[in-house]
Amino acid sequence: MKNIVEVRSLTKTYEGGFEALKSVDLDIKQGEIIALLGPNGAGKTTIISSICGITRATSGTINIGGHDNVTAFRAARNLVGLVPQEINLEPFEKVINTVRFSRGLFGKAPNDAYLETVLKSLSLWDKKDAKVMTLSGGMKRRVLIAKALAHEPRVLFLDEPTAGVDVELRKDMWNVVAQLKEDGVTIILTTHYIEEAEAIADRIGVIASGEILLVEDKADLMARMGQKTLKVDLAEPISSIPKGLSGYDLTIEGEGLLYSYDTKTDRTGITSLLADLQKAGLKMTDLQTRQSSLEEIFVSLVADKEGAA
Amino acid sequence: MNFQAMKTIYIFEMARFFRTLTQSFISPVISTSLYFVVFGTAIGSRIESVEGVGYGAFIVPGLVMLSVMTQATSNASFGIYFPKFTGTIYELLSAPVSFFEITVGYVGAAATKAMFIGLVILATSFLFVDFTIEHPIAMIAFLTLTCLSFSLLGFIIGIWAGNFEQLQLIPLLIITPLVFLGGSFYSVTMLPPIWQTITMFNPVVYLISGFRWSFFGTADVSIGLSLFAIALFTCVCLGIIAWIFRTGWRIRQ
């Protein structure tokens, strides 16, 4: 698949000397949803700000749809829509006017019919004549999204779009995101909610301390990194692990036993464990396997990184 | 060139002005009327004439300039400071617009508002005193240039300001005194010689003098010098803005 955004050797050192990005390379494929995960201060927002032109990169290049974002900034920025993390809106303006403003700023001719579909998809249409300051926090966030979509961008950045947002809006928002993806829009989002990335992203990037630790297909990442556990339910509870089973990584949990194994290795040890369980005279009533979540993967990655630093 | 963006910024800023139309118009009209009552009628009745012009009429150009300069500065500085304050500046920075288009949009709107107010004050003054404008075209030209150059100055202040206090600081500490001491209410020739010399360092003197010439045909300094001063002032402001935009000073990290 073609890359729509290419970031090469991007570094950013702020005036105070803080090194927010250390030589970041990132390819974003056309039409995908990529989630950037990372702890606070990892550099997620700095990457987005650099791509969108809000901060100047200290060095490195950024290419959007084949246009350099400095030398051909008009063509590059035309493709990009940004939903910022903070709720930055003019309080005294009507919703419809702020959205019209966004569209005009990107050089697009007025098109109220299009704006109507955008506002309707975000359940904002009946608020179009309301002043921004009269809206609730969740509604304001919808206005930010509507503004970002007003000029029909091909690449949409969502910087923590669901921070402080209720369940309903989150659902609405992911519906909009799904629709955009269907229309071929590339979506880059940062989030703290790992289950969200797990639910909607095609690829996951993990950032810590200004470096990209990895960017991988979500399924591959989870398969590669995945610790699996096997839960064995026993007919009769046991109080200690029988001697014959001491070679396995087993813990007693309630009525049963938990066995952790690594799906990456050639031999998971499941077959021999089951055989040995039988030898030990334990009766099994059920077996369940469970894969570790992205959150666990994420935490272990960042912990490794911080431990090494 | 993104003309659509310039137009969009201009219209958006003008909409803010029309939304607050009452306070935008009423306050300059009232304050001008007060000046006419105090200076024109109460004090002016004791002053026969200045350079052959009745005192009431003599202060009209100065009063118009006073309002235009302060309004242009405050409108333009507020116009660009407010997006910085609310955070909506992110949109300007991520849009396919150059700083030239941003400046044209904001400064154009601020200058238009100042021009409106200047013309309203001029119209109000006809209610109080009787006078004719000798060079109407030159008058409009001077007014336009003043609106533009002080809007540029205001734009710079708005970018520089880090809070609302700083936004008020320069207009209060520098522009208002310069305008008051720039011959708004008197002819420079009425001052003692030493103060006449000092006054010549005040750029506002040249603007008010040239503007007054367009009304009455008399001036404290030559018209050529006035035009040169206003052109120089505009160029300095443009130069500073060009530098700001090249470096991203106080705007883009």
pLDDT at A193 over 80: no
Query: A133 and A92 in contact (C-beta within 8 Å)?
Result: yes
Q: ∠A263-A267-A270 over CA atoms, to 5°?
A: 80
Let me know whether A238 and A203 are in one domain: no
Interhelix angle for B136-160 vs B55-86, to 10°? 30
| pLDDT, position A148 | 96
- CA distances A97 to A164, B83, B239, Å, are 25, 15, 33
* Partner residue facing B94 (CB), from A54, A97, A103: A54
Let me know whether A286 and A204 are in one domain: no
Let me know whether A65 and A80 are in one domain: yes
pLDDT digit string (tens) for A63-114? 999 999 999 999 999 999 999 999 999 999 999 999 999 999 999 999 999 9
In the stretch 129-158 of chain B, residues with CB closer than 8 A to chain A read: none
Tell me which chain A residues have a C-beta less than 8 angstroms from the C-beta of B4. 104, 107-109
List the strands of the sheet with A256-262, edge to edge. A250-253, A256-262, A227-234, A284-291
Let me know whether A100 and A235 are in one domain: no
Instruction: Supply the CATH number for residue A180's domain.
Output: 3.40.50.300
Query: B32 and B60 in contact (C-beta within 8 Å)?
Result: no
* Partner residue facing B96 (CB), from A78, A82, A90: A78
The mean-pLDDT minimum among A210-214, A220-224, B79-83 falls in A220-224
pLDDT at A306 over 80: no
- Residue in chain A nearest B13 by alpha carbon: A101
Looking at A222, A241, A260, which one is the last position of a domain? A222
Contact B95 A106 (CB under 8 A): yes
Let me know whether A194 and A273 are in one domain: no
Tell me which chain B residues have a C-beta less than 8 angstroms from the C-beta of A76. 96
User: How many of the other CB atoms lie within 10 Å of CB of A161?
Assistant: 25
- Categorize the per-residue pLDDT at A274 as very low, low, confident or very high, splitting at 50, 70 and 90: confident
- Signed CA dihedral, A192, A175, B89, B76: sign only: negative
Q: Once rounded to an integer, what is the mean pLDDT over residues B180-186? A: 84
Amino acid at B83: P
This prediction has a pTM of: 0.84
Q: What distance in Å separates the CA atoms of residue B36 and residue B19, rounded to the nearest whole number? A: 28
Alpha carbon of B109: minimum distance to chain A alpha carbons (Å): 15
Q: Is A126 a domain residue?
A: yes
Let me know whether A33 and A87 are in one domain: yes
Contact B87 A86 (CB under 8 A): yes
Alpha carbon of A175: minimum distance to chain B alpha carbons (Å): 24
Looking at A222, A243, A270, which one is the last position of a domain? A222
Let me know whether A68 and A196 are in one domain: yes
* Partner residue facing A105 (CB), from B19, B97, B252: B97
Contact B92 A105 (CB under 8 A): yes
| pLDDT, position B144 | 94
Contact B7 A104 (CB under 8 A): yes
Query: A16 and A184 in contact (C-beta within 8 Å)?
Result: no
Contact B253 A56 (CB under 8 A): yes
- Does B86 contact chain A (CB < 8 Å)? yes
pLDDT at A225 over 70: no
Q: Once rounded to an integer, what is the mean pLDDT over residues A209-228? A: 82
The mean-pLDDT minimum among A18-22, A257-261, B80-84 falls in A257-261
Tell me which chain A residues have a C-beta less than 8 angstroms from the C-beta of B87. 84, 86, 88
Let me know whether A155 and A250 are in one domain: no
Per-residue HEC secondary structure of chain B comes to: CCHHHHHHHHHHHHHHHHHCHHHHHHHHHHHHHHHHHHHHHHHHHHCCEECCEEHHHHHHHHHHHHHHHHHHHHHHHHHHHHHHHHCCHHHHHHCCCCHHHHHHHHHHHHHHHHHHHHHHHHHHHHHHCCCCCCCHHHHHHHHHHHHHHHHHHHHHHHHHCCCHHHHHHHHHHHHHHHHHCCCCCCCHHHCCHHHHHHHCCCHHHHHHHHHHHHHHCCCCCCHHHHHHHHHHHHHHHHHHHHHHHHHCCCCCC
Contact A90 B97 (CB under 8 A): no
Average pLDDT, chain A: 88
pLDDT digit string (tens) for A248-273? 888 888 788 888 887 667 777 888 88
pLDDT digit string (tens) for B25-80? 788 888 888 888 887 777 777 777 887 788 888 889 998 998 899 899 999 999 99
| pLDDT, position A93 | 93
Proportion of chain B above pLDDT 70, given as a percent: 100
Tell me which chain B residues have a C-beta less than 8 angstroms from the C-beta of A15. 253
| pLDDT, position B22 | 79
pLDDT digit string (tens) for B220-246? 888 888 888 888 999 999 999 989 888
- For chains A and B, what is the number of CB pairs under 8 angstroms? 80
- Does A199 contact chain B (CB < 8 Å)? no
Contact A82 B86 (CB under 8 A): no
Contact B95 A73 (CB under 8 A): no
Q: Residue A111: which residues within 8 A CB-CB, separation 6 or more?
A: A103
- Does B102 contact chain A (CB < 8 Å)? no
Q: Is A301 a domain residue?
A: no
Q: Is A277 a domain residue?
A: yes
Q: Once rounded to an integer, what is the mean pLDDT over residues B149-161? A: 94
Domain count, chain A: 2
Q: Give the structural domain span for A237.
A: 227-291
Average pLDDT, chain B: 88
In the stretch 3-62 of chain B, residues with CB closer than 8 A to chain A read: 3-5, 7-9, 11-12, 15-16, 19
Tell me which chain B residues have a C-beta less than 8 angstroms from the C-beta of A88. 86-91
Q: Is A300 a domain residue?
A: no
- Categorize the per-residue pLDDT at B157 as very low, low, confident or very high, splitting at 50, 70 and 90: very high
- Residue in chain A nearest B79 by alpha carbon: A90
pLDDT digit string (tens) for A100-133? 999 999 999 999 999 999 999 888 999 999 999 9
pLDDT at A309 over 60: no
Q: Once rounded to an integer, what is the mean pLDDT over residues B185-193? A: 84
Instruction: Supply the CATH number for residue A282's domain.
Output: 3.30.70
Contact B94 A89 (CB under 8 A): no
Q: Is A303 a domain residue?
A: no
| pLDDT, position A308 | 62
Let me know whether A186 and A204 are in one domain: yes
Contact A107 B7 (CB under 8 A): no
- Does A72 contact chain B (CB < 8 Å)? no
Amino acid at A212: I
Let me know whether A244 and A271 are in one domain: yes
Q: Is A90 a domain residue?
A: yes
Q: Residue B220: which residues within 8 A CB-CB, separation 6 or more?
A: B183, B187, B188, B189, B205, B209, B212
Let me know whether A195 and A265 are in one domain: no
Looking at A222, A238, A269, which one is the last position of a domain? A222
- Residue in chain A nearest B8 by alpha carbon: A104
| pLDDT, position A49 | 94
- Signed CA dihedral, A37, A41, A42, A44: sign only: positive
Let me know whether A58 and A153 are in one domain: yes
Q: Is A297 a domain residue?
A: no
The residue whose two tokens read 């705007």 is B251
Tell me which chain A residues have a C-beta less than 8 angstroms from the C-beta of B86. 88-91
* Partner residue facing A74 (CB), from B9, B89, B96: B96
Q: Is A212 a domain residue?
A: yes
